[in-house]
């Protein structure tokens, strides 16, 4: 059973009820808000372990609420929205959302995303070494092993991998990756990023045609997985 406290922010009562029943049956504690203002007040007074945020709120745009939250709230935020455009998804992820699910979604997938997001908040931030399936990253010595064999990575490949690893399970947009690894002048160089991801995949993936660590999120970016 879980004991994390989750805030549901959605103006539709039936959606809040469905989510509340699903989460409580999995052992989570649930708080509800139907407006952006109510959500911001609740989070300020009693910060939850995770927020499920709808973008279509009656008083404020959900993207605006997300940006306000990210000024001081650091726990996971998962967007649940009927808005499925690439622009909306990329904007939310660039504004600090940990994940984005388009309604309607499978409850099993939502619960899996929640478990992953909560787990990552309590792991790896201060770890000297971490395991990601067949990969082991030693942050202190800056070494990477696959199946106990040391991999030879360039400094850029290593920086890219570390950024992925520290955001395991989270979708990282093309622009975010380019800005973090190469700087703001490279944010439009998507082809540049694809080249380096391809190089990194050749070194860490068992099958580059079916990658299991660096997974492409079409039109958005990449997600790093441990399996």
The DSSP bridge pattern shows strands 129-132 and 5-9 to be: unpaired
pLDDT, position 226: 86
CA distance 86 to 55: 14
pLDDT, position 122: 65
pLDDT, position 15: 95
Residue 97 has pLDDT above 80, yes or no: yes
Following CA atoms 165, 171, 173, 174 in sequence, which dihedral angle do they give, to the nearest 10 degrees?
A: 60
pLDDT, position 145: 94
Of the CATH numbers 3.90.1640.10, 3.40.50.450, 1.10.645.10, 1.10.10.10, which one belongs to the domain with range 129-224?
Answer: 1.10.10.10
Burial of residue 166 (CB within 10 Å: 0-12, 13-18, 19+) is middle
Residue 123 has pLDDT above 80, yes or no: no
Top pLDDT among 142 and 210 is at: 210
Check residue 151 and give left, alpha or beta (phi > 0: left; psi -120 to 50: alpha). beta
Task: Band the pLDDT of 130: cuts 50, 70, 90.
Answer: confident
Average pLDDT of the residues in 199-204: 96
Domain with CATH 1.10.10.10 in the chain: 129-224
pLDDT, position 185: 84
Residue 1 has pLDDT above 80, yes or no: no
Q: CATH 3.40.50.2300: does it fit domain 5-121?
A: yes
pLDDT tens, 19-72?
Answer: 999 999 999 999 999 999 999 999 988 889 999 999 999 999 999 999 999 888
pLDDT, position 44: 86
* Cβ neighbours of 147 (radius 10 Å): 9
Domain with CATH 3.40.50.2300 in the chain: 5-121
Q: Which two tokens stand for residue 175?
A: 């622009």
Task: Band the pLDDT of 126: cuts 50, 70, 90.
Answer: low
pLDDT tens, 140-199?
Answer: 788 999 999 999 999 899 999 999 998 888 899 998 899 888 888 888 888 889 999 999
């Amino acid at each position: 059973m879980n004991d994390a406290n989750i805030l549901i922010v959605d103006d539709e009562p039936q959606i809040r009820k469905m989510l509340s029943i699903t989460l409580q049956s999995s052992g989570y504690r649930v708080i509800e808000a139907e407006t952006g203002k109510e959500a911001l007040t609740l989070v300020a007074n009693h910060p939850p372990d995770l927020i499920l945020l709808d973008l279509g709120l009656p008083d404020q745009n959900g993207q605006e609420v997300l940006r306000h939250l990210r000024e001081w709230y650091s726990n996971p935020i998962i967007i649940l929205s009927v808005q499925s455009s690439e622009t909306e998804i990329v904007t939310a992820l660039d504004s600090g959302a940990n994940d984005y699910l388009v309604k309607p979604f499978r409850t099993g997938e939502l619960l899996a995303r929640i478990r992953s997001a909560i787990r990552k908040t309590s792991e790896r931030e201060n770890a000297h070494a971490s395991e990601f399936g067949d990969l082991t990253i030693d942050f202190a010595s800056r070494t990477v092993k696959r199946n106990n064999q040391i991999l030879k990575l360039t400094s850029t490949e290593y920086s890219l991998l570390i950024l992925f690893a520290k955001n395991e399970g989270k979708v990282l947009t093309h622009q975010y990756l380019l800005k973090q690894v190469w700087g703001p002048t490279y944010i439009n160089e998507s082809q540049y990023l694809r080249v380096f991801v391809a190089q990194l995949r050749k070194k860490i993936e068992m099958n580059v045609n079916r990658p299991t660590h660096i997974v492409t999120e079409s039109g958005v970016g990449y997600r790093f997985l441990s399996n």
